[in-house]
Structure 1
Amino acid sequence: MGQNNNDGFKVKDNFDDLCYACRTGDVENADRLISMGVNINQVDKFDNSPLFLASLCGHIEVVKLLLERGAICDRDRHEGARCIYGALTDAIRDMLLSYDISKAFDTNQPFATHISSLLKEDELNTNDLLLDCKDDVKFSTHKFMLIARSPVFDTSNPNKLSTTFKDIPSHTLGILLEFIYLIPILHEIRSTDFPDLIKLANTFQLKTLSEFLNKARHMTDPVQKSTLMIAYQYKFTELARNQLKNFVKNDIIGRHIELADDSNILEIPDPAKSLPFPDIYLVVENHTGTKRMYPCHISMLSRADFFKELVKSDFQDGRKYRLRRSSPAKADDVTDILCLELPTCEFGVAESIINYLYYDRADIDPNHAFEVIRIGDYIMASRLKNIAAAVITQSPDVLVSDTIFDVLHLAWETGVERLEQFGAKYIAQHIQELSSSRELYDVILESSRRISSREELDTIELVADIRFYLLGKYDLEPDDISLLETDADDTEFLQSLGLLDYKDDMIALNKIVTDLGLSI
């Protein structure tokens, strides 16, 4: 049975009704149901989301409504790809794609969306390679992206990047580049495109694309073709993620430079002519004072707002090092390279940041999670902070080297709500053993001071959260508390409900608040 909402309707029934409205195109009813608080991003028993049903059945107004109300169409995920390639009409598909790359979703900067933006709308102008094709059309690309994604660009001799494709029509090369940059193009491929595109995919050694094209070229059933597109689009994204993972491991982290001193003269290969063709270096000093430089790319670091804003400000805060060429023709043959210094952290933390920005890696070492959150806060990467927070809350050893009070201070310092809730829940679970702790008194007092303009009836956020989790600890509802008054003499009954233990915990919590001279 579904849980009742305030109007007496069952939440499960409401969701089923929403799915039906999405299948039938009933915009008004869908709007009404959404306004009642139905979770529009869940799925039914057939694993279909409301957005998928509306797009599959061709109801563009319902699709628009769902997107405006927060339905997620993230093609990094299988469900997002299903929505796009299962759409009945091109108009719906275009709407889904535009929402996928719109500012509404840029707050999370998903992996595939960011890669796509580098080809279609690279506002930072980070490209460093022009590809010429048959009809004198030029495509601006990135050397590192082509090397990472296509084996035809030999990393052992990177200066032999082919920049001329005079025998290839711009339409065909454009489709192939969109594939490389993870732009969904499978639905745009015409029957006349297949011969040239298969040939070009083989030339670039793009085996997965070639495999799809050979399967799809003779397919006439639109349902089968749509199913094939869905399966392969997700496969393309994961393939790109693994390719960039290998590139980062071998050519970014693997090519870091140890800084022996603080000199501004560096004798390293010319970045413009050697792997990984960096246009920026991240300088990291660990807690022992050792420094490293990591060759990176502004285009990928810009997933974090700090780097994006730095580019827009023309790197006013960046440090310039002098680069001396490995075999200079003249003694003064030097040039400037841009370097940015991260706050002091372990190298493993910096490398976790780089991995995340390049290919969305989420398996952060729990020992590094605290520092990852602090650096993530510094570079304004809120999604990275939330990923690292999840590592902390799910690690059984998190409170071995750090206390729950360290977690709370980190949460307040960096604005990570997940950690605040984790801290409050832990305190609720251990209130009796922590009730005499000086640290608990201190964090409750600090929480009270975090209220900017304290009024007599203001609640202390941490105390309110602990009270909420105390109810959950004993599986109680707010209305159950009244039983402490009405059945005060029935001790056995109250004990069976957990109310007496709950009462003891509340007494311990309220004592701390009273001792601090705060309002209960």
Structure 2
Amino acid sequence: MSDLDDIDLDPEDFLSSIPLKRVPYGDVFEASRAGDVGRLRYLLESGVNVNARDQWDSVALYYACLAGHLDAARMLLENGAICSEHTFDGDRCHYAALNLKVRKLLKAFEARPPPLGPLQGALRETFLGSMANRGYVEQFDGQFQFTGSSPSYFPPDFVFYLHGRPIEAHRVILSARSPYLKKKFQTDWRGRKEIRFSKEKLSYPAFYSLIHFFYSDRLEIAVDDMEDLVRICKVCKCESLQKVIEKEVSHQKYADYKALQDIDNSQRRFILQGSSLPEDERLPAALSRLLQISLDVSIKVDDKIFRCHQVILASRSEYFKTRLSRMEDFLEGKDGLPDYTLPLLEEHDLSMEAFEKMIEYMYTDSLKDVDPDQAEEMFDAASRYLLFPLKRAVADALLPHLEMVPPAELCHWLILSDMYGVLKIREHCLDVIACNFETFADTREFRAILLTLPPPSGDSSLRTTAPSAPGAEIKMTEGNILDDLREKWLEVEAGELDKRDESALLFDKRLEMLMLVAEQEQSVAAYDNL
């Protein structure tokens, strides 16, 4: 609840204001109207567009606000539902809100931009790393800030000038998103570094919003500029986006703004997530196609050469951004390749199979068919190349495999996940061990790892044995493995609060006995090896 501390909402406020109705087969609109957070969570995790409209042009958040379901509304907001005032959907939700608590929740979230995925966020920061591009955003968004520790900057290779104002970009991104721009770069604009548009009617805000969308899969535009954007989309052959904007223009024309008569359309904004478009026209699909065009850097791993794009590598990885931005015309591995002209980097101590998977993730934000035997190397690569979201993607691919592994292998993954900081795998392993503690206690592998871990906290004041309050802040950093295992075991075994400390002491004594057994087994093994 730390994000909501300043709006005076308590955990009990997140109970529905009307009796819940289960809709096990309902869509996202029915689940939001009924306050069925279980069904809603399933739909959102399945990839449903949180800002989709139904046949009455209403979004799911509108129904959650109308019915006063704070828990459902919060879930939608955390998954990117748009609630900003002066937007078509945001205004409807604010005025439909059943009570003040719902309005407070909307206020808490409207200052935050809809969340972006790792790929979209990385490319957006690259685009806004340019002072010329960032200056326009800061004009209308005083709360704008980078998600990283410092602004990302990777030099552009192309600049548009509209009305004397620059928009810096990378031609490979523009080519991937627009068939028109791709053709221009191959013909009329081939070899050119800049284009100056002389047409006074070409709208700078609309064109800027489109270029920003190409990088981030998120469109943010003033209502006044939407008709100009429709015309630009038509020229750039962005047909799906054009259709969505045309429909929204009609919504804006006929929307009832009786309560906002003092606010003109220049102050109202429209926000669109890329998930509203067909999958093959979103950023990950566009970058997948990008692998076949305009390659400008090569990386040699073992005996294989991977051809990539500098802007993608630099946007996704601080490691590559540093290497690429400080070197020019480098040919580190050119031995044996006398006719090779592309800049070439050479990477060591990494298999080409793991590197290929890493490149797949950097371009698409997803992984397919990850071999569990590759997972450890992938975790290591994610740490080495500062590509930390890759760990979560590998963890998601690995979890189904861990459902079936024997205790010995699960112990191995527990240690690895703790070493590499993969919280999802670590939590899964601890949950399974806590629920089947005696089964694991009977295995030599579990007893052996007890000797390699820091001992549990002996002072009861240091233990986290008190159960978490509903809505309490979740601990996001991992601590002592045995302390965390004790806590999970207590959640399973010690239901009565007044007996939790007593049960914790019994658990610690059980661990001490297992460690003694492990030491004896270790001594016997050492003696047998003499």
TM range (shorter): 0.5 to 0.7
Would you say the 8 A contact 2:170–2:311 is kept in 1? no
Offset at residue 206 of structure 1 (A): 0.9
Q: Secondary structure at the match of 2:179?
A: coil
Would you say the 8 A contact 1:146–1:180 is kept in 2? yes
> How far apart, CA to CA, are the structure 1 residues paired with 2:335 and 2:76?
45
Question: Structure 1 305/385 Cα, relative in aligned 2: closer, same or farther at 3 Å?
Answer: same
> How far apart, CA to CA, are the structure 2 residues paired with 1:142 and 1:182?
13
> How far apart, CA to CA, are the structure 1 residues paired with 2:496 and 2:242?
58
> How far apart, CA to CA, are the structure 2 residues paired with 1:139 and 1:46?
45
* Mapping 1:12-23, distance limit 5 Å: 12-15=11-14
* Mapping 1:332-351, distance limit 5 Å: 337-341=343-347, 343-347=349-353, 349-351=354-356
After superposition, what is the alpha-carbon deviation per residue over 1:33-89, rounded to whole angstroms, capped at 9, x for unaligned?
xxxxxxxxx9993989xxx9xx99xxxxxxxxxxxxxx99989x432x344745559
Aligned residue among 411, 423, 428 for 1:422:
428
Q: Which moved further from structure 2: 333-342 or 456-465?
A: 456-465
Other-structure match for 1:150 = 178
Offset at residue 121 of structure 1 (A): 2.2
Given residue 175 of structure 2, which amino acid in structure 1 is its aligned partner? I
Q: Secondary structure at the match of 1:448?
A: coil
Other-structure match for 2:242 = 210
Q: Secondary structure at the match of 2:350?
A: coil
> How far apart, CA to CA, are the structure 2 residues paired with 1:443 and 1:343?
27
Would you say the 8 A contact 2:119–2:365 is kept in 1? yes
* Mapping 1:127-206, distance limit 5 Å: 127-133=156-162, 135-154=163-182, 158=186, 161=189, 164=195, 165-167=197-199, 168-182=202-216, 185-190=219-224, 194=227, 196-206=228-238
Q: Which moved further from structure 2: 291-300 or 440-449?
A: 291-300
Q: Secondary structure at the match of 1:220?
A: helix
Question: Structure 1 116/230 Cα, relative in aligned 2: closer, same or farther at 3 Å?
Answer: same
After superposition, what is the alpha-carbon deviation per residue over 1:90-109, rounded to whole angstroms, capped at 9, x for unaligned?
xx9999798549xxx9xx97
Q: Secondary structure at the match of 1:78?
A: coil
Count of residue pairs the alignment pairs up: 400
Other-structure match for 1:391 = 397
After superposition, what is the alpha-carbon deviation per residue over 1:278-335, rounded to whole angstroms, capped at 9, x for unaligned?
2x333333xxxx42323132344432333344456x259x86345999xxxxxx9875
> How far apart, CA to CA, are the structure 2 residues paired with 1:380 and 1:202?
39
After superposition, what is the alpha-carbon deviation per residue over 1:453-486, rounded to whole angstroms, capped at 9, x for unaligned?
x9999989333333333334447345346899xx
Are residues 1:78 and 2:110 paired? no
Are residues 1:467 and 2:486 paired? yes
Other-structure match for 1:365 = 370
Would you say the 8 A contact 1:131–1:138 is kept in 2? yes
* Mapping 1:215-230, distance limit 5 Å: 215-218=247-250, 219-222=252-255
Q: Which moved further from structure 2: 232-241 or 418-427?
A: 232-241
Given residue 284 of structure 2, which amino acid in structure 1 is its aligned partner? K
Would you say the 8 A contact 2:221–2:269 is kept in 1? no
Question: What is the TM-score normalised by the length of structure 1?
Answer: 0.60
Structure 1: unaligned runs, 5 residues or longer: 1-9, 20-41, 57-70, 256-274, 326-331, 485-498
Question: Structure 1 433/385 Cα, relative in aligned 2: closer, same or farther at 3 Å?
Answer: same
Aligned residue among 23, 40, 45 for 2:35:
45
Would you say the 8 A contact 2:156–2:170 is kept in 1? yes
After superposition, what is the alpha-carbon deviation per residue over 1:107-147, rounded to whole angstroms, capped at 9, x for unaligned?
x97333333233332442332122344x3444221111111
> How far apart, CA to CA, are the structure 1 residues paired with 2:187 and 2:333?
24
Aligned residue among 320, 328, 338 for 2:332:
320
After superposition, what is the alpha-carbon deviation per residue over 1:374-418, rounded to whole angstroms, capped at 9, x for unaligned?
211211222221332233334356627981132023123312233
> How far apart, CA to CA, are the structure 1 residues paired with 2:491 and 2:272?
42
Percent same amino acid at aligned positions? 13
Structure 2: unaligned runs, 5 residues or longer: 1-8, 18-31, 41-50, 52-60, 63-73, 95-103, 131-151, 464-478, 521-530
Given residue 45 of structure 1, which amino acid in structure 2 is its aligned partner? G
Q: Runs ≥4 in structure 1, deviation > 6 angstroms?
A: 71-75, 92-98, 223-226, 229-232, 454-460
> How far apart, CA to CA, are the structure 1 residues paired with 2:314 and 2:77?
21
Would you say the 8 A contact 1:112–1:237 is kept in 2? no
Would you say the 8 A contact 1:143–1:277 is kept in 2? no
Q: Secondary structure at the match of 1:293?
A: strand
Would you say the 8 A contact 2:454–2:480 is kept in 1? yes
After superposition, what is the alpha-carbon deviation per residue over 1:324-369, rounded to whole angstroms, capped at 9, x for unaligned?
99xxxxxx9875614252641352x333322332332255625343
Would you say the 8 A contact 1:198–1:214 is kept in 2? yes
> How far apart, CA to CA, are the structure 1 residues paired with 2:210 and 2:441?
63
Given residue 483 of structure 2, which amino acid in structure 1 is its aligned partner? A
Q: Secondary structure at the match of 2:392?
A: helix
Are residues 1:121 and 2:129 paired? yes
* Mapping 1:258-273, distance limit 5 Å: none
> How far apart, CA to CA, are the structure 2 residues paired with 1:248 and 1:424?
37
- What RMSD over aligned residues (CA atoms) do the two structures have, in Å? 5.3
Other-structure match for 2:467 = none
> How far apart, CA to CA, are the structure 2 residues paired with 1:398 and 1:366?
15
Given residue 233 of structure 1, which amino acid in structure 2 is its aligned partner? L
Would you say the 8 A contact 1:321–1:337 is kept in 2? no
Offset at residue 216 of structure 1 (A): 3.1
Q: Secondary structure at the match of 2:306?
A: strand
> How far apart, CA to CA, are the structure 2 residues paired with 1:311 and 1:449?
44
Q: Secondary structure at the match of 2:451?
A: helix
Would you say the 8 A contact 1:431–1:509 is kept in 2? no
Offset at residue 435 of structure 1 (A): 2.6
Offset at residue 512 of structure 1 (A): 0.8
Question: Structure 1 336/282 Cα, relative in aligned 2: closer, same or farther at 3 Å?
Answer: closer
Point out which structure has higher relative CO (alpha carbons under 8 A, 6+ apart): 2
Given residue 276 of structure 1, which amino acid in structure 2 is its aligned partner? S
> How far apart, CA to CA, are the structure 1 residues paired with 2:324 and 2:204?
31
> How far apart, CA to CA, are the structure 1 residues paired with 2:359 and 2:412?
26
Given residue 320 of structure 2, which amino acid in structure 1 is its aligned partner? F
> How far apart, CA to CA, are the structure 2 residues paired with 1:97 and 1:456?
42
Given residue 394 of structure 2, which amino acid in structure 1 is its aligned partner? A
Question: Structure 1 14/215 Cα, relative in aligned 2: closer, same or farther at 3 Å?
Answer: closer
Would you say the 8 A contact 1:248–1:355 is kept in 2? no
> How far apart, CA to CA, are the structure 1 residues paired with 2:519 and 2:404?
32
Aligned residue among 272, 288, 293 for 1:233:
272
Given residue 374 of structure 1, which amino acid in structure 2 is its aligned partner? D
Question: Structure 1 238/82 Cα, relative in aligned 2: closer, same or farther at 3 Å?
Answer: farther
Offset at residue 148 of structure 1 (A): 1.2
Other-structure match for 1:407 = 413
Question: What is the TM-score normalised by the length of structure 2?
Answer: 0.59
Would you say the 8 A contact 2:234–2:242 is kept in 1? yes
Given residue 14 of structure 2, which amino acid in structure 1 is its aligned partner? F
Would you say the 8 A contact 2:375–2:394 is kept in 1? yes
Offset at residue 419 of structure 1 (A): 2.9
> How far apart, CA to CA, are the structure 2 residues paired with 1:470 and 1:456?
16
